[in-house]
Amino acid sequence: MRVVVQKYGGSSVADTDRIKNVANRIAKKVQEGYKVVSVISAMGKTTDQLINLAKSLSQRPDERELDMLLVTGEQVSCALVAITLKDIGINAISLNAFQAKILTTKHHTNARIMDISVSHLREYLKEYDVIVVTGFQGVTEDGHFTTLGRGGSDTSAVALAAKLKCDCEIYSDVVGVYSCDPRLYPNAKKWDYITYDDMLELAATGAKVLHSRSVEIAKKYNVKIYCASSFSQEEGTWVVDRLPEWLEEPVVTGVSLDRNQMKVSIMDLPNEATVIADIFKRVADKGINVDMISLVKNGSSTHVSFTVVPDGVGKIEELLNETLSVYGAKYHFYGQFAKITVVGTGMRSSYGVASKLLEVLQSEQVEPELITTSEIKISVLVPEDKAEMLVKKICEAFEL
């Protein structure tokens, strides 16, 4: 039995004509001799509309009830795709997370997949040529629906491919993986192949092609991912463990932009490691994602800065008010920043990337608020109104 997982994003199923196009693409794969597990996102901007609807009734909707609301988006699109497939003669069935037995943690709105019943899915594949599965959602051990956070349909698809030991094809409105978002830099290169490491860093720092958690799973279980557009036949990009031997590895693979960042600074903390550990443990327990952590010691005190997206500010503020009074420290929020990240596994064996990046910033008279580095990436926090211009200049400097 040849199996493939195909994921179609919200733009690919935004209306009935696009749903018919997706059904025809799935049918073509069946005609090639495959059994298809198709993961479908909610139609167009449905998820955003549902969130806005909930927030029109409550400033902070209960997360369990919000998940109960949001899972309806994928159920609508999956049922419509299955209806269309059956209408053109394809033996298909749609399944939600409960029916597909996608077990997750209990972290509502940001759950993680714990297990998927592969034997259950294979039984369905014996009877049907196509299983249309709701992306973005799971179910807890005690039967409550959860969602996996933004980009969760990518995670659903790669997790299914990992369990079924097959390739995963991700279709969206983008033809493949570029060195930079073509809407920011029209001359960006499109890669035929990119490594998990490069893709993971790009995804984690703002590139919209794949969600970072999906790439983590792909790397762990060696799932080959093919990224392409559902609107064209142009060749896409393969995300793989290592580049083919005949390809020269670039020093810099890509530049990503993550907008809408807020900087949080905590001043006058006691100069003790246990204090810092305690604060970030509390942050983790609240399920808040922080980034670009900087720590500066100043005599007997420590100053810590980090970035957070605005959605997390309410939780962070509540946590800091509870925690910092114990230590006699103060905090401050600074807004209107963007994070630019330069990524490349080739940086492991090359030098000069940081100096060239900082030269670009200096030439545009921009001083970064924060800088963080790893073996294969450098991130800078810059004023949001300068970010797009800087991305273009950086792409030109690195010939991307």
Domain ranges within the chain, ordered by starting residue: 3-173, 255-397
Residues 255-397: name the CATH superfamily. VC0802-like (3.30.2130.10)
Task: Please indicate if the annotation marks 208 as binding a ligand.
Answer: yes
343 appears as a binding residue in the annotation = no
Q: The whole model's pTM is what? A: 0.80
Per-residue pLDDT of the chain (400 residues; tens, 9 = 90+): 899 999 999 999 999 999 999 999 999 999 999 999 999 999 999 999 999 999 999 989 999 999 999 999 999 999 999 999 999 999 999 999 999 999 999 999 999 999 999 998 999 999 999 999 999 999 999 999 999 987 789 999 999 999 999 999 999 888 888 888 888 888 888 889 998 988 888 877 666 778 888 999 999 999 999 999 999 889 999 999 887 777 777 788 889 888 888 888 888 877 777 888 888 887 888 777 788 888 887 777 788 888 887 776 777 788 788 777 777 778 888 878 899 989 888 787 778 888 889 899 998 888 888 888 888 888 899 998 889 999 999 998 888 8
Cα–Cα distance between 271 and 249 in angstroms, integer? 43
The beta strands (E) that lie in the chain are given as 3-8, 35-40, 92-95, 102-104, 113-116, 130-134, 137-139, 145-147, 168-172, 177-178, 190-191, 193-195, 225-229, 237-240, 254-270, 291-298, 301-308, 330-343, 370-374, 377-383
Does 178 carry a binding-site annotation? yes
DSSP string, 15-70: SHHHHHHHHHHHHHHHHTT-EEEEEEPPSTTHHHHHHHHHHTT-SS--HHHHHHHH
74 annotated as ligand-binding: yes
Tell me: is residue 7 an annotated ligand-binding position: yes
> Does the annotation list 152 as a binding residue?
no
CATH architecture of the domain with range 3-173: 3-Layer(aba) Sandwich (3.40)
Q: Is 25 annotated as a binding residue?
A: no
CA separation for the pair 164, 102 (Å, rounded) = 13
State yes or no: 151 annotated in a binding site: no
* Residue 9 among known ligand-binding residues: yes
- CA–CA separation, 157 and 6 (whole Å): 7
| Contact criterion met (CB below 8 Å) for 204 and 258 | no
Asked if residue 47 belongs to a known ligand binding site, the reply is yes
